[in-house]
Chains A and B, each alone.
Chain A
Amino acid sequence: MRASVGTGPGPCRAIPPNWKLGLTLSVIVASSLIPLEHWPAHGVLLALTFAGLSLAGVTLTYLARRLALFLPMLLVFGLTVPMNQVDRSAAWAWTIALWMRCTVSFLAGLWLVHVLPFAELLSTLIRWRCPRLLVAMLAFMYRYIFILWEELARLRHARDARDFGRSTLLIRWTTNAQLIGLLLLRAMERAERTHHAMLARGWDGSPRFLADDGERNDV
């Protein structure tokens, strides 16, 4: 599993996280509000996001791979409207606007995931007065995603070693469901053990975070 978070140096990384989120949301809202008649504005937004992506160090190969997964669904979704009309002119205009909006928004989102590390997201959420409990759950989830992912990879490896990757559709469904079920059981047992360990360290149900200035405060 590979999160698309940029970790290397770059001009975009130096931007404060508030600005990164604000900038991305502004581009998405602007692309949603600009009508198709003002298509040069869409072109400017597209050029800006491309520039941002190249500054963030996104390679063309990676971009092409992500777009190859994203565009077909969008094309089919958009084409459904004009294909079902008697008078297609208005529907085509709407579909082209939809494609433009979604593509600009997708690229803006891609820029954000490349320049906003998870720690910055958490600190931003804390600064924005997001409920502590929710931020703590998010941090906990992020901590265990990678552990569970590795566990899942081991389970898959064991399954493939037993059936050599060859099995019927029914067996694949059954084993996949068992795989998730087993992961669920192990994770819930792990959660119980972790909870006991947290209690042993004085956990009282109220999350506390290290503030950005290094002092230990209730947030």
Chain B
Amino acid sequence: MHIRDGILSPEICVATGLISLAAIGFSLRKLRVDLEDRAVPLTGMLAAVIFAGQMVNFPLIGLPVSGHLLGGVLAAAMLGPWAGCLAITLVLVVQAVLFNDGGLLSLGANILNMGVVGAWGGYSVYSLVRKWCGNGPLSAIPAAVIAAWLSVLAAAALFCVEFGLSTGSREFSLRGIFTLMVLYHALIGIGEALITGSILGFVLARRPDLIPTPASTGVVNGTGRFVTAGLVVAFAVAAILAPLKSDFPDGLDKVAQETEINTLSIERDGLILSGYEVPVPSGFWWSTAATSLAGLLGTGIVFAMAVSLGRAARWKLPTLAVDGGHAG
């Protein structure tokens, strides 16, 4: 997930860095109100847990690689979006500066993709789904599963946009990379959703008081939550549907071609999004099919996981242990 230095252009790194700085500043301001004097120990400890939790590898079926927790939605579900965003930011800073995992110049882009989209966006989807499910404690699991998957896909789509803007090349297509990213992150998203749901289910069975209902925290207002969730869903949908972009002209272009108005059009160089060419899809039908199939399969798997994890938690809840889980 971490973007390395050299992949994005310095301009995009600076732009994403500025957005991330604004998001961090806003989160810090909000955090002082929400957590008061508990902000430092709770957020610092949560960041340390996510950092340690990322060291636990989850084996993948039939593959010689393993996945790990990303933690944006988990952190936001535990302490709210502001603390969640800051916790992921701290994790990314430590990973970059102490372990050289992720770039220094691209730290802003990493914070934007994983911290802001993961925690703010993930929390918005999480709180909306919980609200639709009646805000019961068990609704936290399907809500977290859906939010985790969507936030990973949205982060992948955002990376594609950043990468497309960084490259800005018309000489060759970037479709291969975009397809690879969406396929890879659709899989990562399923893993992240499953891990987040399982951990939340475990915590919910032992200390349900640690997972507040979004309504009781009052940290995000309804409109902001709706808009942010909409953005995350839009990015996730864009990630799935981008390779399906039609190569045929749209209605206006068609009329322009038929009436030869297009001969009067002026070709302007340097327009980054001219002709919706950031994803630059062309050729290779299989990648289109594979990407969309992955998206559809992913959606089905995530919804199945959301339902089954919710049911499993319901089955486990009567045997609540309130000792904080000191076994092992």
Contact = CB atoms under 8 A, between A and B. Distances in A.
A169 B169 contact: no
Given A141-B94, A180-B56, A133 B31 contact: yes
B29 to A, nearest CB: 10
B245 to A, nearest CB: 16
Contacts of B97: 112-113, 116, 118, 121
Interface stretch (B173-181, B218-226, B271-279): B173-181
A80 B176 contact: yes
A109 B100 CA distance: 6
Contacts of A3: 98-99
A102 B105 contact: no
Given A105-B5, A134-B28, A144 B90 contact: no
A24 B104 contact: yes
Contact of A5 (B47, B51, B91, B98): B98
A178 B69 CA distance: 13
Interface in B46-101: 46-49, 51-53, 55-59, 61, 69, 78, 86, 89-91, 93-94, 96-100
B45 A140 contact: yes
B42 interface: yes
B49 A105 contact: no
A4 B99 contact: yes
Select the residue from B46, B99, B210 with max chain A CB neighbours within 10 A. B99
Contact of B40 (A1, A86, A136, A155): A136
B202 interface: yes
A207 B40 CA distance: 9
Given A106-B100, A133-B39, A74 B4 contact: yes
A138 B180 CA distance: 34
Contacts of B42: 188, 191, 195
B58 A84 contact: no
A198 B56 CA distance: 30
Interface in B173-206: 173-177, 180, 194-195, 198-199, 201-203, 206
Nearest to A74: B4
A33 B199 contact: no
Interface residues of A, number: 92
Contact of B167 (A70, A82, A94, A136): A94
B243 to A, nearest CB: 12
Given A106-B5, A113-B100, A81 B177 contact: yes
Contacts of A205: 32, 36-37, 39-40
Contact of A181 (B10, B103, B203): B203
B176 A84 contact: yes
A109 B207 CA distance: 41
Given A4-B100, A118-B98, A137-B43, A184 B49 contact: yes
A173 B58 contact: yes
Contacts of B326: 186
A13 interface: no
B58 to A, nearest CB: 6
A66 B41 contact: no
B296 to A, nearest CB: 23
B324 interface: yes
A29 B176 contact: no
10 contacts: A87-B171, A141-B90, A148-B49, A152-B55, A169-B61, A188-B45, A188-B49, A189-B324, A191-B44, A198-B41
Interface of A: 1, 3-5, 24-25, 28-29, 31-33, 66, 70, 74, 77, 80-88, 90-91, 94, 98, 101-106, 108-110, 112-113, 116, 118, 121, 131, 133-134, 136-145, 147-149, 151-152, 155, 158-159, 169, 172-174, 176-192, 194-195, 198-199, 203-205, 207
